[in-house]
A = this chain, B = another copy of it.
Amino acid sequence: MTPAGEEEKETGRLEAFSDGVFAIAMTLLVLDLKVPKSGEVDSGGLLAALFGQWPMLIAYLASFATILVMWVNHHRMLRHIRHTNDTFLYLNGLLLLLVTFVPFPTALVAAHLRDSHARTAAAIYAGTYEALALVLNLMWSYAAKGHRLLGSQVNAAQVHAITRQYRTGPTLYLIAFGLAFLSPEASFGFCLLLAVDWAFTGSLTRLFGEPRLQM
């Protein structure tokens, strides 16, 4: 009953709203960087006090880059999607819930990476990204199955390329999740590496034979 034109506009709104959530979640991360007060700075000076916050600085960088990559993936997916329905909206809502949640595990891993709770914190951090990657895959599988929500101009080769590319995320974050129990630092470092690599260079994922993300 709705002409194609109106449905495209619906997708536009879904994207604009999702973009807002992505942008705000990325910007809120800075609120966890704490300015050391004069009394808290010892003889090493301010620079040393700031470097003492390195887990938070690195977690900020890793989370920023990861949300950026998720945003690029989200847009890439929605460029191929013309129709929406309830189930797709449900999955998108779940993705946004996880995106807004990211600042919490970020602060958690930064606070506990150097104490006895490092394993739990690193596992929750990697687990959040595993969940994000899984929901992104679910959204794409659902939309692409039988060409359900795709535009008519999307061909099978494009669908296959995206499907293959998306598949690496859950596998790699599962490794990061497992690593958390062996070495929290290694797990956290692996998450950072994945985010920076995906966002910026793409060389690691090319080892898996995947093409670079194109927005």
Contact = CB atoms under 8 A, between A and B. Distances in A.
Interface stretch (A39-47, A130-138, A169-177, A185-193): A39-47
Chain multiplicity (copies): 4
Interface core residue of A65, A97, A115 (most chain B CB under 10 Å): A97
A46 B117 contact: yes
Interface string A107-134: 1100110010100110010000000000
Interface residues of A, number: 65
A75 B23 contact: no
A11 B117 CA distance: 44
Contact of A21 (B14, B26, B89, B104): B26
A55 interface: no
A84 interface: yes
A43 to B, nearest CB: 11
B75 A35 contact: no
A26 B96 contact: yes
A46 B120 contact: yes
Contact of A22 (B17, B30, B120): B17
A115 to B, nearest CB: 5
Contacts of A100: 26-27, 29-30, 64
A35 B111 contact: yes
